[in-house]
Amino acid sequence: MFVPGMWRIGNALGSFPDIRRLQQDMNRLFAEMPRAGGQEYPAINVWGGEHDFVLTAELPGIDPSRLDISVIGDTLTFKGSRDFEALQEGETYHRQERSGGRFSRTLQLPFQIDAEKVTAKYEKGILKLTLPKTAIEKPRKITIKAE
């Protein structure tokens, strides 16, 4: 069937960033459905930019000085532990939903990470890592010399 309008709709989508984003969000929503059962701890969100990626993780109540972050090539690993104060004598739990222990997560990114320039920030229980791309991975503008 000849539908001349179809391609134009496809192109038009790209000119509305919000619609494009909505489409990406929907794709992600469905692509990640099966993981609902077993999730790794901590849960992470990753944001991609031209020069770097930003990773955030919800890690309430940890000691940031005991967080171990390492970068090798395109692989990032961060590990740490969440400790709990033990109950004193005569204290009891009425409800215990929070849990502690050690955690470790490894993530492979689609580029080489500039390990020297990785920055980490821990604020309000959220860990934020900025992972810059190495110079070789960054987009470069090539100028055309006129003869």
Supply the DSSP symbol for 134. P
* Positive or negative: CA dihedral 58, 24, 76, 36: positive
DSSP secondary-structure letter at 19? H
The binder of other proteins chosen from 47, 68, 72, 138 (CB under 8 A): 47
Q: Which helix (H) or strand (E) holds 53?
A: strand 52-58
- For residue 11, the minimal CB distance to other proteins (Å) is 19
**CB closer to other proteins, 8 vs 125:** 125
The least distance separating other proteins from the CB of residue 74, rounded to whole angstroms, comes to 14
Cβ-based neighbour number of residue 44 at 10 Å: 16
55, 49, 57, 58: which is closest to 75 by C-alpha? Answer: 55
Q: Which pair of tokens denotes residue 100?
A: 């502690």
**Residue of 120, 38, 132, 124 lying closest to 79 (CA atoms):** 120
22, 27, 61, 106: residue in contact with other proteins (rule CB under 8 A): 61
Task: Show the site string, 62-81: x = touches other proteins by CB under 8 A, - = not.
Answer: x-x-----------------
- Asked if residue 7 binds other proteins (CB under 8 A), the reply is no
Give the footprint of other proteins on residues 107-146 (CB under 8 A): 122, 124-126
Tell whether residue 46 is a contact of other proteins (CB under 8 A).
yes
Binding site for other proteins (CB under 8 A): 21, 24-25, 28, 32, 35-36, 39-41, 43-50, 53-54, 56, 58-62, 64, 87-88, 90-99, 122, 124-126
